[in-house]
Structures are given as C-alpha cells and as structure tokens.
C-alpha cells in the first residue's frame, strides 16, 4: 500500500439487528473499508446513501419499522450509482427472485462468514468500478461520435 493510495471505498451498513451491525462494522473496518454509516430504517438508508455516496451498500432485507430492504435498495439506486450487496436470513426462492430484480452485486445468507463478506464486498467494489469506468468511456464516446447510445 502506497501513501498516495486512494481513500478506501465507503460501505454503508443497513441492518436493524444492533449486534450484527456492530460485528459487520468491526469486520469491514478490519478489512480496511471505510464504514460511512450504520442505519436501520429505509429513510435513514436513503438519506445516508445520498449524503455519503458509498461505493457499496450492505443491505439487510427486513428492516426496522417494517421496512423492506429490496425496496430501499431500489430507491437508493434511483438516486445514486452504488453496488448493492444483500445480507439476509431469507433464502427462499421468492425473496431471492425479488432481490435479483434489483441487480445486486452479491447476496449473503446469515449467519455470514468474515471470508465470504470480504469476497462479496471486494467483488462488488471491483465490478462496480469497472461498470462505472465502462459507462464513463461510453459517455466519452457518445460525446465524440454522437452515435453511441449511453
């Protein structure tokens, strides 16, 4: 790691179980990620995502106050380009299908393992930055040739 390294990508934790959230924050910080917020309701999640612009949102599916993580992820993606990784105790087909509709970058089943968490977040960060770079170059191309569709 050089001293001029870019700041570590930010991760927003959306989890309504306090101890699980604390564990996630500790693990992620230990892996060198910048935890830019820990929230437990849809409203707080959308607010924090707009304010902090995290690279990854780690999203529980069932949130406090009866909130739904999949809907919340949809709302966040509408405002801000970020990678969603779901973390949930749900593993039934119906929930999985609903979650897949949001094109998440990962889907972790509770209880999670530190190793799987790291792989999922690393992958999400990498894939997301590649996608962002691809969009950037497409935009550049569209600006020059006037033909390429964004």
Partner 1 sequence: VLLPGGGALPAELVAWQVATARGSATCAFLRDIGDRKQLEEQQRLRFQSETLLKEVHHRIKNNMQVISSLLSIESSKLDDERQRSVFLECRERIRAMSLIHDRLYSTGSYEQIDFADYLREMLALIVSSNRPAATEVTVDLAADHVRVPVERAVPLSLIASELVLNSLKHGFLDRDRGRILVRLERTGHECELFVADDGPGPAPGDADGRGTGLQLIDSLTRQIRGVSSFATRDGLPGVSIRWSER
Interacting residue ranges for partner 1, rule: CB under 8 A: 17, 19-20, 22-24, 26-27, 30, 62, 89-93, 109-116
CB of 68 to partner 1, least distance (A): 14
Smaller CB distance to partner 1: residue 89 or 135? 89
Which strands make up the sheet holding 106-109, listed edge to edge? 34-39, 10-14, 56-59, 83-88, 106-109
Smaller CB distance to partner 1: residue 40 or 52? 40
CB of 89 to partner 1, least distance (A): 4
Smaller CB distance to partner 1: residue 49 or 108? 108
Smaller CB distance to partner 1: residue 16 or 132? 16
Q: Tell me the β-bridge partners of 35.
A: 11
Tokens of residue 133, six digits? 């770079």
CB of 30 to partner 1, least distance (A): 7
Q: Tell me the β-bridge partners of 58.
A: 13, 85
Q: How many helices (H) and strands (E) are present in the chain, helices listed first?
A: 5, 5
Smaller CB distance to partner 1: residue 89 or 101? 89
H/E stretch holding 134 reads helix 114-145
How far apart are the C-alpha atoms of 105 and 52, rounded to whole Å? 19
How far apart are the C-alpha atoms of 68 and 74, rounded to whole Å? 10
CB of 21 to partner 1, least distance (A): 9
CB of 75 to partner 1, least distance (A): 23
CB atoms within 10 A of CB 98: 15
């Amino acid at each position: 790691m050089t001293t001029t390294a870019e700041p570590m990508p930010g991760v927003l934790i959306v989890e309504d179980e306090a101890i699980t959230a604390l564990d996630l924050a500790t693990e992620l910080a230990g892996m060198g990620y910048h935890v830019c917020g820990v929230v437990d309701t849809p409203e707080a999640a959308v607010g924090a995502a707009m304010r902090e612009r995290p690279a990854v949102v780690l999203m529980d599916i069932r949130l406090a106050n009866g909130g739904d993580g999949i809907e919340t992820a949809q709302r966040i993606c509408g405002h801000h380009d970020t990678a969603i990784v779901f973390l949930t105790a749900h593993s039934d087909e119906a929930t999985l299908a609903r979650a897949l509709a949001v094109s998440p970058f990962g889907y972790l089943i509770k209880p999670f393992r530190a190793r799987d968490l790291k792989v999922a977040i690393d992958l999400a960060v990498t894939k997301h930055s590649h996608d962002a770079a691809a969009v950037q170059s497409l935009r550049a191309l569209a600006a020059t040739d006037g033909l390429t569709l964004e």
